[in-house]
Amino acid sequence: MPDVVSLIHVKRDNRRPLTDAEIGWLFAAYAGGEVADEQMAALLMAIYFNGLDGAELRAWTGAMIASGERLNLAAAAVDAAGRPRPSVDKHSTGGVGDKVSLVVAPLVASCGAVVPMISGRGLGHTGGTLDKLESIPGWRASLGNQELTAALTKVGAVIAAAGSGLAPADRRLYALRDVTGTVESIPLIASSIMSKKIAEGTQALVLDVKTGSGAFMRDQARATQLARTMVALGAEHHVRTRALVTRMDTPLGRAVGNALEVEEAVKALTGEGPDDLMEVTFALAEHMLELAGINASPDEEIASGRAFDTYQRMIRAQGGDPDAPLPAARHVRDALLAPETGWITGLDALAVGIAAWRLGAGRARKEDDVSHTAGVRCLAKPGDRVRRGQPILELHADDESRFAPAAEALEAAGTVTIGSAPPPRTPLVVSVISAADVADEGGT
């Protein structure tokens, strides 16, 4: 029988891959209290430095899935007339102003798919989908399995928090990674994301892996590596998976912050979304529909009003009132004055994200509260012409004392760059990675 100290030595010294049996024993022993948190933390650090190969990662992810329950979406896979509906989900690695989930879930559901979107909360400068939706009066993130299935059957789309029974090992491991400096490990990130997505029972999955200054994976090569790793895991666990690597150097859309982003998502669903937000949304929706085997036009769903109607029904199914006014900040102030007249050529997503976080839109620790009203509105973005002294951003906060630290984050050199001509048009989708692209690869 294995013992955890021996397994730590094996990974620390990079002697050989761990076997399926050793990984299975490890997770069972950790759940049973035979392996202490400090021992698991030591093993995570060894993995951080030495990685997991393809077989190890497959077994590691499988053990995380097996630590809890798997949702059965069979009851939701037919419509009211008894016709089959394919299931497909989308996951983003997080960015600044990334409210795509709020738009794409009802949009794809209105085309005839079931979209069981298990989402998370924000941490640091990246926003969380659940935090955004909780700015809607009455809306609930936590649904029991029966509630979730009923909502999917009725509406076709749900955006909810992961239940306590879904990959519970991931919650324990993430808490350890968060306090031991082992978050930025590609195999550990991939297994964390994919264990929950596979356990939710979806048949297909499209991943939006962000790269750039406002992304978790700033380096494009590492973002691509993460995307390929997750696509391979999906294929190995019989989930049709595809990844889009997309740019996150500039905030997506013009709103950053919870209620502000909901407001912009509603505009997107009614045909008034910013071009960059719609570019990413339509790209993801089209790949989701392709994997689901549905021939439909996302822009027609928006133009007809069907996507917005599905959004309203999705919000009501989770206790929210989509017609209620969204909360608004008590204080609004202009910020980041244009240093000269010209065309904006750059607006740093990280600086804007940190400013929104300091205004109260984000959290430093998972247990922190967030402000639904705080955030940043981009009055001008790359491609817009501005005059010297013109405000580029608008800050929203309930506490005026938060304006100074937010402005400090924005005053750093390079937050905004001005040129004598508009910047060249650069597609936001960097690359698309399919299962065929990674079929013959090993692990990380």
Give the residue numbers annotated as catalytic, written as ranges: 91, 170, 177, 192, 196
Q: Are 11 and 46 in contact (CB under 8 A)?
A: yes
- Alpha-carbon distance of 107 to 115, in angstroms, equals 10
Q: Are 236 and 56 in contact (CB under 8 A)?
A: no
Q: Cβ contacts of residue 412 below 8 Å, gap of 6+?
A: 348, 351
**Local structure of 125: helix, strand or coil:** coil
Q: Which of 344, 337, 348, 333 is nearest to 388 (CA)?
A: 337
Bridge partners (DSSP) listed for residue 217: 211
- Alpha-carbon distance of 421 to 86, in angstroms, equals 47
DSSP assignment of 301-360, as one string?
Answer: HHHHTHHHHHHHHHHHHTT--TTSPPP--SEEEEEEE-SSSEEEEEE-HHHHHHHHIIII
Return the C-alpha torsion angle 381, 354, 375, 360, nearest 10.
180
Run of H or E residues at 220: helix 220-236
Q: Take residue 83 and report the two structure tokens written for it.
A: 């016709």
**Local structure of 417: helix, strand or coil:** strand
Q: How many Cβ atoms are within 10 Å of 365's Cβ, its own excluded?
A: 8
Q: Take residue 45 and report the two structure tokens written for it.
A: 């650090």
Q: Are 70 and 78 in contact (CB under 8 A)?
A: no
Give the E-state strand segments of 248-291 in sequence order: 255-256
* Alpha-carbon dihedral sign for residues 24, 30, 35, 39: positive
Q: Are 253 and 97 in contact (CB under 8 A)?
A: yes
Q: How many Cβ atoms are within 10 Å of 129's Cβ, its own excluded?
A: 28
- Alpha-carbon distance of 278 to 412, in angstroms, equals 29
